[in-house]
A and B are shown apart, each in its own frame.
Chain A
Amino acid sequence: MHIADGVLGTPVLMAGIAMTLAGTVLGLRKLDDDKIPFAAVLSACFFVASLIHVPLGPSSVHLIFNGLIGLILGWLAFPVMLIALVLQAIFFGFGGVVVLGVNCLNIALPAVMVGALLRPLRHRIPARILGFLAGSGAVLLTGIMVSLSLYLSGEAFSSTARVVFWGNLPLSVLEGVISGFIIVLISKVKPEVLNGVQSNA
């Protein structure tokens, strides 16, 4: 999912930076000062979880968790994802610098959308379904946005964009299945996690 520097066109890059900036400012406004340690621990948790590889077919993949982040953290998904991507870009060398805005937008916007849609339903639909919809929906949207950013950058990327979209489908199913199990466990062990950080502040 990381797009490197030098790939995307300038208008796409600028739009990504502007929208990520707006989302991050909005997210930080929703965070109370004394809730910062709380949000940080959850942000660290998702960072660690996304480093872990899960077997799929002949290889292994890591999950993005943006569906769950959206469900639990809401608009905070923007600052949390931006921090994760900055840390990865500088300390692990994944992704680029100028493209940071687009990469963050592609992951955080689906998170916010999924969170806003599914959060009101969290007590009405079964936990497994809720998790599956959140996980697979967010990754599916991310795949669409990544292919769209490639597609809008020029004719040359149209076939790459298509490959990214189709290749992303199995990942979104796996993310949905595992997110389903995660929500099943959480709703049994500690259902108040699903109330999120913003609402119980």
Chain B
Amino acid sequence: MIDALLAPKITGEKSIPLPVKFRLLLIVSIALATVLSTSWLTLWLFVSLDIYLWFRSGLTVRQTVKRLLAMDCLILFTVALIPFSVSGEPVFSLLSFSATKPGILMAMMILLKANIVLLAVMSLSAGIDALTLGKALVELGVSRRFALLMQFTVRYIEVLFLEFHRLRQAMKARGFKAKNTMHTWRSYGFLFGMLLVRSFDRADRISQAMKCRGFRGHFLSHEKRLVTAREYAHFVAYLSLVCLIFCTSFGTFMFPVPIT
């Protein structure tokens, strides 16, 4: 799981030819438009846009389905009770609770929206690693401190994960098995505590080493990559498409069509 942060499985060549900052803006605009729209037509149009973006992204079917399903399990838990809480025409009943048609439709719409957003995030973020993400955030005007904190965090996640494995291995070597006992929870508590103590020591050493090298809160060199006219054109085209699809949502406000 952690390797996804540092070394993306897909290289940038096949993915959508947009600079990372534009991809982030597209993700946010698609997510916002999806969340705010209430018409099925709009949502299905976003699904088709997502499928196009997915084709361009070079993600494999297997990894896509795996991640979508993992999230869907979580959402199903959230929406499972909605059909029984919304009043309306009953469709079926379960243990004397009846599920209504508007409730089922609402639950399905939430499920669809969440999948649209996740698929857009996956397709557009394919090929981005966490360090590029930090750089793109600064280009978009996010506080430099925030981006720096994020880049350093990502750098040490891997290091501390290895540290955790060393501690865990030492426990295994002494015959530790996780069970539902106070002993297990105490051992985990000490494991986490030791991880924290070692992180604190490491943080101190890193801080001092950085200071020795003249670190005062920012890196001095910043390579700047210029955006080509072609990339701008691509971005504007995609953004207009998102706006256009979002506008179909207003159509139903002006000419209300009953949801079927």
Contact = CB atoms under 8 A, between A and B. Distances in A.
A33 B38 CA distance: 45
Interface in A10-26: 10, 13, 24-25
B152 to A, nearest CB: 3
A4 B71 contact: yes
Interface stretch (B194-202, B229-237, B247-255): B194-202
B196 A186 contact: yes
A94 to B, nearest CB: 7
A41 B145 contact: no
Interface majority SS (helix, strand, loop, mixed), chain A: helix
Contacts of B27: 97
Nearest to B145: A28
Contacts of B125: 90-91
B222 interface: no
Interface stretch (A111-119, A137-145, A155-163): A155-163
Contact of B207 (A4, A37, A178): A37
A74 interface: no
A35 B216 CA distance: 9
A45 B196 contact: yes
Contact of A4 (B75, B122, B199): B75
Contacts, number: 253
B194 A185 contact: yes
B130 A87 contact: yes
A186 B210 CA distance: 26
A169 interface: no
B203 interface: yes
A33 B35 contact: no
Contacts of B106: 156
Given A40-B152, A90-B133, A159-B81, A45 B143 contact: no
A48 B210 CA distance: 23
B156 interface: yes
Interface of B: 1-2, 4-5, 27-28, 31-32, 34-36, 67-68, 70-71, 74-75, 78-82, 84-86, 103, 106, 109-114, 117-118, 121-122, 125, 128, 130, 133, 143, 145-146, 148-150, 152-157, 159-161, 164, 178-180, 182, 184-186, 188-190, 192-197, 199-204, 206-207, 210-211, 215-218
30 contacts: A4-B117, A5-B117, A7-B75, A34-B211, A36-B149, A38-B203, A39-B203, A40-B155, A41-B206, A44-B153, A44-B154, A45-B156, A49-B196, A51-B2, A52-B188, A52-B192, A63-B192, A65-B192, A79-B146, A90-B125, A92-B4, A97-B32, A157-B85, A159-B81, A159-B84, A160-B85, A178-B188, A182-B196, A185-B189, A193-B200
